[in-house]
Structure 1
Amino acid sequence: MNLLLCSAIFSLTATFALCGIKDLHEHFEHFDETQSIDLHGLHNNGTLKLSPEFHKENTVTNDLSTEGEEEEDYLDLDKILSEDDDYFDIIDATPDSVSELKQGNILELFQGKTRIQRLNILNANFAFNLYRSLKDKANSTDNILLAPVGISTAMAMISLGLRGETQEEVLDSLGFRDFVNASSKYDLMTIHNLFHKLTHRLFRRNFGYTLRSVNDLYIRRQFPILGEFKNNMKRYYFAEAQLADFADPTFLAKANERILKLTKGLIKEALVQVHPATLMMILNCVYFKGTWENKFPVEMTQKHSFRLNEKEVVKVPMMRTKANFLATVDNELDCGVLQLPYVGNISMLIVLPYKQASMKALEKQLTPQVVERWQKSMTNRTREILLPKFKLEKSYDLIEYLKTLGINELFTQNGNYSGISEESIIINKFSHQGTITVNEEGTEAASVTTAGFMPLSAQIRFVVDRPFLFLIYEHRTSCLLFMGRVANPTKV
């Protein structure tokens, strides 16, 4: 399974100094796709031998200079992940106010969760709200694809430079303000530290899958970016500022070539055009390739009917396998939920409404609380699974959708970007592009009460032959990596 999303591209323009930004030519020339490592090599104690080259290939950026970094930043993973370990291993006390909250409040989920899990719960909540905004403006027959972790990361990156009401809108909409208020130990920099730690956890460890993220920061020559913003982007998000001439067609060609290589050829022409007056661009890409724990035998794939709605049916290649899988039934939302694990600690949840009308209710009520209760109510047993092969390719300009979530001032002349530059600037583009391929090998890309659930004790077949949702989670961090809707597997 390959899944890749060019998660967010920001471009800022101004009505119109170099700041220690390295030259763009050096940035592109530095990328070397030939770096490789034998991932089957092991130390004597059975742990993986992961070289500096591996981590440079599987981390946030390939362009970080090793100057000033200790060798163990790449070699001694236990040392890396023990530094400030409280950021994702210590479970803080639940705030007293939670007990007084109404049932269904998102902070209820914080109990017993680590800091990084708490942040990812809010990231998922934001993702579900953004999904609903996309769904409301789409046809019921449209497929949808998002990379929530990439969008949240990009928004967190830009929030470093926001001030005043502009920053407050972003913090409130993403749930970051709720996170900070949940403990006297938290502040805004806790969030950025957690994104930094999440990067190490997700993208610097090898658990049998490939998961990588790339953050780039492009700056127009002579645009006076503030040193603090530039340094924080590199410190927390590994996005080292690169000089760029956005009016030069060569920039588009080289940037697209870089994205193409970083995404293993999945994202083509991520940048179609860039306004020549652009001053700064922030780019985030996420790539995932996973292999099913229980592969679907290729010889078992056959054409099968997929019901688009009550009247229309299409024939699709339907994969088939039989093994032990976790699953549950949600009677209140009238759907079945199946967990398909990848090698490693990542899995795909397939959420299958039983009736066409049930999809609308499911999409409306999808929350982190609902997902957690699904996972807690699952039972494990031998099941026969039928799942369609599909490939999605989607591209969105997210500005209008983000406005519906309360992020308005960010995209107006009143936006306060004074933490980025003293110049008057505005975001004029926030795009999101992605593709996912699900096949026999795996994937490559890019409040309901407990009484409403029951085990699938009597249901030994799970046939995905009608529109469904999918959610891809990394379980250790509770990170929602990708999500979407497959309304028609014959369409991209």
Structure 2
Amino acid sequence: MKTIFYISVLLAGLHAVTCGQLSPSYHNGHDPKEPKYHMHHESVATACLKLVPNNADFAFQFFKEVTLEAPNRNIFFSPVSISTAFAMLALGARSTTQTQILEGLTFNLTEIQEKEIHEGFHNLIHMLSHPENGVQLNMGNAIFLTEKLKPLKKFLDDAEALYQLEAFTTDFSNPTEAEKQINDYIERKTHGKITNLVKDMDPQTVMLLASYVFFKGNWEKPFKPEHTEEREFFVDDETTVKVPMMYQTGRFDFYFDEELSCTVVRLHYNGSATAFLVLPAKGRMKKLEQTLVKEIIQEWSDHLSQRMVRLYFPKFSISGSYEITNTLSKMGIVDVFTDQADLSGITGTPDLKVSKVVHKASLDVDERGTEAAAATAAEIMPMSLPPTIEFNHPFLMLIFDRDTNSTLFIGKIVNPTIIS
């Protein structure tokens, strides 16, 4: 019988308020229009960018699975948080278990070596943790171990060097105290946004792995709070709710995808993050969520054009909490959750398996932003009213980091009045 341990993959709060200039680009390297890396980024960019297509594929495959499991619910998660945690776990996995994890993260092991994957994640964590001004983004990993479990020094050294791992001794035989220690750590690291991540812990647990991401951004063009008003949001044919709807008129990056019958608006945050707001026509959400892949995002990016519009977008807070063991199993990561698991790279003996994986994420969207201090810009208004885009029925919100082209968050907002 294998000893079990938990992996808690968590992710923290997001304050949406708008962003920089250019779209994510999933080519090998940056779009020619993209801002160049600063010199201190040049040395780490190559390995990091090698991961971009795979991480994007993982993000949208995971999104498809989650939407199938919960078709009519709000969804919000961080693909980069989940993939980082499992890449770190692969450091301690061996044989088929390791192969399944890396292939489940959509890596083709004939095209990229394990060493390159770990180097790429190391560089990704470094770049995301040192973003350009305007965005606050913290990533990290922690491992909580029972005193009697002695992990290999090589695993701890490699995980610390590559994944910024912190290690703590924990008494899991006292679940209440163990939960408090872990939850307090996560709450502190996520600035209070993620609370009560773990509960009902099994006293037989010997190790818990936690991965967290915290993001806070200010809109480049903030909404004025005095323009926010209560308006109707149509959840489905039977359900209508009232939501505080933010409003502004201005030039926005805009595209209408005729094939998928959806409107795409791109908003920017100060700094390196970008939000794609995607409003499918009524009845077309299912097709959109099941066909969404990185190539579609790239197509939207390529076709965006500046358009004067009247934009209504809800102010809301949601969180997503998922036990994602089954989801990952459907994506080919199977053995690590069974007695077939080989995690001997962690302790030297193959007597560990993962019991469950918890992922929690939260999102806050409001008007806030930093107005430019020394410049004033006036939008020239046409005589006739510009078209209105109102996000008043279920929509998608995708948040990318432009410096690394990483998919930070994917959300489906079905009912913005339901927090979790």
Instruction: Sort the TM-score into its range (normalised by shorter chain).
Output: 0.7 to 0.9
Q: Which moved more, 1:199-208 or 1:479-488?
A: 199-208
* Whole-angstrom distance in 1 between the partners of 2:259 and 2:245: 28
Specify which of 115, 121, 126 is matched with residue 53 of structure 2.
121
TM-score, normalised to structure 2, is 0.84
Runs of at least 5 residues in structure 2 that lack an aligned partner in the other structure: 6-36, 371-384
Task: Give 1:14 deviation, angstroms.
Answer: 1.0
Residues 1:466 and 2:397 are matched in the alignment: no
Query: Is the Cα–Cα contact under 8 Å of residues 335 and 353 in structure 1 kept in the other structure?
Result: yes
* Whole-angstrom distance in 2 between the partners of 1:13 and 1:134: 28
Specify which of 249, 261, 282 is matched with residue 355 of structure 1.
282
* Whole-angstrom distance in 1 between the partners of 2:319 and 2:132: 27
Distance 1:168 1:459, change over 3 A: farther
* Whole-angstrom distance in 1 between the partners of 2:341 and 2:51: 25
Distance 1:282 1:15, change over 3 A: closer
Query: Is the Cα–Cα contact under 8 Å of residues 50 and 120 in structure 2 kept in the other structure?
Result: no
Specify which of 80, 88, 94 is matched with residue 45 of structure 2.
88
* Whole-angstrom distance in 1 between the partners of 2:238 and 2:219: 33
Q: Which has the higher contact order (CA 8 A, sep 6+)?
A: 2
Task: Give 1:211 deviation, angstroms.
Answer: 0.5
**Cross-structure match for 1:220:** 146
1:236 match: secondary structure: helix
2:289 match: secondary structure: helix
Residues 1:304 and 2:261 are matched in the alignment: no
1:376 match: secondary structure: helix
Query: Is the Cα–Cα contact under 8 Å of residues 13 and 278 in structure 1 kept in the other structure?
Result: no
Runs of at least 5 residues in structure 1 that lack an aligned partner in the other structure: 1-11, 17-76, 90-114, 444-457
TM-score, normalised to structure 1, is 0.72
Specify which of 311, 324, 327 is matched with residue 398 of structure 1.
324
**Cross-structure match for 1:233:** 159
* Whole-angstrom distance in 1 between the partners of 2:298 and 2:232: 31
Tell me the matched-pair count: 372
Q: Percent identity over the alignment?
A: 32
Distance 1:459 1:417, change over 3 A: farther
Specify which of 106, 110, 115 is matched with residue 181 of structure 1.
110
Q: Deviations over 1:64-95 (max 9, x none)?
A: xxxxxxxxxxxxx978545xx1x414xxxxxx
* Whole-angstrom distance in 2 between the partners of 1:134 and 1:256: 25
Residues 1:320 and 2:247 are matched in the alignment: yes
Task: Give 1:15 deviation, angstroms.
Answer: 7.8
**Cross-structure match for 1:254:** 181
* Whole-angstrom distance in 1 between the partners of 2:264 and 2:185: 38
Amino acid at match of 2:288: L
1:175 match: secondary structure: coil
Residues 1:293 and 2:220 are matched in the alignment: yes
Query: Is the Cα–Cα contact under 8 Å of residues 13 and 277 in structure 1 kept in the other structure?
Result: no
1:207 match: secondary structure: coil
Query: Is the Cα–Cα contact under 8 Å of residues 334 and 355 in structure 1 kept in the other structure?
Result: no
- Aligned CA-pair RMSD: 2.2
Q: Deviations over 1:48-74 (max 9, x none)?
A: xxxxxxxxxxxxxxxxxxxxxxxxxxx
Q: Deviations over 1:174-217 (max 9, x none)?
A: 112x2x534xxx42111111111111211123421110012101
* Whole-angstrom distance in 2 between the partners of 1:78 and 1:296: 31
**Cross-structure match for 2:202:** 275
Task: Give 1:409 deviation, angstroms.
Answer: 1.2
* Whole-angstrom distance in 2 between the partners of 1:157 and 1:398: 17
* Whole-angstrom distance in 2 between the partners of 1:239 and 1:126: 23
**Cross-structure match for 1:148:** 79
Task: Give 1:381 deviation, angstroms.
Answer: 2.7
**Cross-structure match for 2:341:** 415
Specify which of 174, 193, 202 is matched with residue 119 of structure 2.
193
**Cross-structure match for 2:136:** 210
Task: Give 1:366 deviation, angstroms.
Answer: 0.3
Distance 1:475 1:297, change over 3 A: same
Residues 1:138 and 2:70 are matched in the alignment: yes
